[in-house]
Amino acid sequence: MKEKIFDFIDNSSDLAAELEIGLCKYPAISPESGGEGELDKCEFLAAWLKAHGINQLGRYDAPDPRAKGGVRPNLVATIPGKNDPSGKNPRFWVMSHIDVVPPGEASFWNSDPWKAIIAEGGVRSDGTLLGKRVIGRGVEDNQQGLCSSVIAALALVKQGITPSRTVKLLFASDEEIGSVYGLQWLIKNHQDLFQKNDMAIVPDSGCASGAEIEIAEKSHVWATFTTKGIQTHAAHPEHGANAYLAGADLTVRLHYELSEKFSDRNPLFDPPCSTFQPTKKEPNIPNINTVPGEDAFHYDMRILPSVSVDDVFKEVDRIKAEVEARHKVTIEYKIDYQTESPPTSQDSPLVKFLSNSIKEVYKVETKPIGIGGGTFAAYLRKLGIDCAVWARFDGTAHQPNEYALLDNILGDAKVMALMMISE
């Protein structure tokens, strides 16, 4: 059976390229980033799946009046497993997302980012040769994982092979902006989709060898700080309260004092510490010779699982109060995004199955890692579902001339197919 599956996948290069090229035509960009959402891309994908024999589809639309059609669609494909007529036995999920980030500066692209092309030849920056690849926005993040999951499922469906457990493929919206209309919405409104004994792979991060299995994520917080003072002429700063100066003081103190206070180290992560970084700065006044009365900036915090987010914000409140008193301003903050979750055990059946499958396909020894970036695996882990983030990526996501190697798509499909038939 395994040989039949692998033969099918080895002969699916053209099929993978067809799906990648088809998906790339639809710029599934969130309204926050100036797009219309994922509807057109989701409808294309659903039609493509049905045309190729994956017929058991369910669509779950999160309302969003800003998006085309007023919805952010989430698509679930089901391949029923052995002895599971009710679908209540543990299921195996592969969860990818259909939204993408904008292409960025057009002059940095060597081709149209929305018209995927197939290329051969070339070398990486380290001098190693590149294989046959598809180039376009979204082809690696996250269409590589999406295509791998589909090819793996088709290897079973097309040959009449029933998986050991029911397989669920999720194609979610809104991952790039926080999954408010994607997995978070599904968990809140359709929690019956998920069971605590399910297992899930999220093919949304990885390394070039395929050896790294992500089992833990740092808690992830985005916060906006707004400082309110008194606007005045810059020649008489004593008549006002400089909101920009107070904000700058707060910015620096948060970075250094939080980093010193929460200095735990965990070698599972790179970097092995919590990070507290000021990022986006909002404009305040248009001219130079006025002391601003209001100022705002944003912070990105990646916090080790051993550190309590509540404890971090108790310290934020202490620093904030001292800055307010020093500069005679008021400071408010709001949490724009927050996620935290427990790690998946490296001894879990999921990680063992995945590790064995990777070794069989790619002949590499695997290692568990943690990451600072956020994926929607965190939401699953909070539900008690074992989840691993894994793929064999060249790491071109969000870059100009983003590409996905066809060998990676097919190799990862083999890994996923082995997981689908594992007892």
Catalytic positions: 99, 175
Q: What is the chain's alpha carbon radius of gyration, rounded to the nearest angstrom?
A: 24
Map residue 306 onto helix, strand or coil.
Answer: coil
DSSP label at residue 130? P
Q: Is 257 exposed, middle or buried (0-12, 13-18, 19+ CB in 10 A)?
A: middle
Give the start-end residues of each E strand in 53-154: 57-63, 71-79, 92-97, 117-119, 133-135
Residue 341 and residue 362: Cα distance in Å, rounded? 30
Give the pair of three-digit tokens for residue 106: 């057009």
Sequence length of the chain is 423
Residue 36 and residue 13: Cα distance in Å, rounded? 31
Residue closest to 189 by CA, chosen among 97, 104, 72, 285: 72
Residue 54 and residue 370: Cα distance in Å, rounded? 34
Q: Give the distance from CA 179 to its chain's centroid.
A: 9
* CB neighbourhood size of 281 (10 A): 14
Task: Give strand pairing partners of 169.
Answer: 77, 94
Give the pair of three-digit tokens for residue 160: 């009449």
Give the pair of three-digit tokens for residue 287: 């001219």
Residue 11 and residue 135: Cα distance in Å, rounded? 20
Give the pair of three-digit tokens for residue 223: 């916060």
Residue 93 and residue 78: Cα distance in Å, rounded? 9
Residue 136 and residue 118: Cα distance in Å, rounded? 9
What sign does the dihedral 282-286-288-291 (CA atoms) show? Answer: negative
The bridge status of strand 219-228 relative to strand 294-303 is antiparallel
Amino acid at 176: E
Q: Give the distance from CA 130 to its chain's centroid.
A: 25
